[in-house]
Amino acid sequence: MTASASDNLLDWYDKHARELPWRNPPGEPAPNDPAWPYRVWLSEVMLQQTTVAAVKPYFAKFTTIWPTVFDLAGASDDEVMAAWAGLGYYSRARNLVKCAREVASRGGFPSTEPELRELPGLGAYTAAAIAAIAFGERAVVVDANVERVVARLFDIEEPLPGARKPIRARADEITPGHRAGDFAQAMMDLGSQICTTKAPRCLLCPLSEECEGRKAGQPERLPVKPPKKAKPERRGTAYWIKREGKVWLVTRPGKGMLGGMRALPDDGWSAREDGSGEAPIAGEVQEMGAVRHTFSHAHLTLRVVRIEATTAPPGDGEWWPIGEIEEAGLPTLFVKAARLALASN
């Protein structure tokens, strides 16, 4: 199966590869361009737990503002966090800046998987993907799409996460020594377009004749996943503190939920279950309603309260023009809260 599977997949990729702004055309060697590893790395970080459609405009924005890793390394944390706002999983943005500065200090990206693993924020998957796609190094690249393809191809019935070790071993078996980047991206495309979680399109799959999961019937049952745990419910309060056409914004602590982001002041919902906290300043209070947001670990219902202030609240913060609130780089949760407050004015 080893040789035929990789050859069949690469033939399919040559005809059906997605055209993406961070990709090289199939069959062409990695560009001899210092910016190429940067673009590959940036795209891989952005694509973690995020769809291609959501990433495209952010990738375009980042590569326009910061065309090279050296440009990004020179940016302030606030600038990067504001540009990332809305893409979610904000620890990625914090690690992005750290990694860019480390790469710049080294004079560029290292080309081997072990060296890439030394960079801040780069785990096994990202390091392998950059080594293969940016530098043409043979590397075993396994993300959720590849897990699904390999589990079905070899009919691996052991439940996750225990199945990850045999899945990786089998992925290693079929990873060729040539066209490493194309093969990695072909596996990703196959998983996202053909070997999908539900209703896989087996008749269009270049590996269908060799797929043990298909032969066994019901390939969609693989990989076997443990039952999902119900997400806890959290409640909290955000404060729209207004004065003379401006609203009070704070910067959240660097560590923790939405760390380093501009936000509305709140009552500490990230550490509470009931949202029981005190307003940061006294003043005329008006209930605006509530917004709901889902994080990876919990659901949050955030009550929004407007306070007409005469002075600034204690602590660090800034008065931001309400007419320019969309430019503040608020994370999605607080964008929802701000829009509710504006609609209630």
Q: Domain map of the chain by residue range?
A: 2-221, 233-343
Rounded to whole angstroms, how far apart are CA atoms 334 and 241?
Answer: 13
Measuring CA to CA, how many Å separate 32 from each of 2, 134, 318, 322? 30, 10, 45, 46
| pLDDT score of 2 | 55
| pLDDT score of 278 | 66
| pLDDT score of 268 | 82
Q: Which of 28, 44, 173, 278 is catalytic?
A: 44
| pLDDT score of 47 | 95
The neighbouring-strand residues paired with 238 are 266, 304
Report the phi/psi class of residue 244: left, alpha or beta, with left for phi > 0 and alpha for psi in -120 to 50.
left
| pLDDT score of 229 | 87
Integer-rounded Cα Rg, in Å, for the chain is 23
Say if CB 275 and CB 105 are below 8 A apart: no
| pLDDT score of 277 | 58
Rounded to whole angstroms, how far apart are CA atoms 93 and 80?
Answer: 7
CATH number of 2-221: 1.10.340.30
Divide the 345 residues of the chain into consecutive groups of 10 and give the mean pLDDT of each group. 82 96 91 91 95 96 97 94 89 93 96 95 95 95 96 96 96 94 96 96 96 94 91 92 94 83 84 56 83 90 92 90 92 94 85
Which residue's structure tokens are 């009919």?
155
| pLDDT score of 271 | 46
Decide which of 3.90.79.10, 3.20.20.70, 3.90.480.20, 3.55.10.10 is the CATH code for 233-343.
3.90.79.10
Is residue 248 classed as helix, strand or coil in its secondary structure? strand
| pLDDT score of 53 | 95
Rounded to whole angstroms, how far apart are CA atoms 26 and 99?
Answer: 28
Active-site annotation holds for 173: no
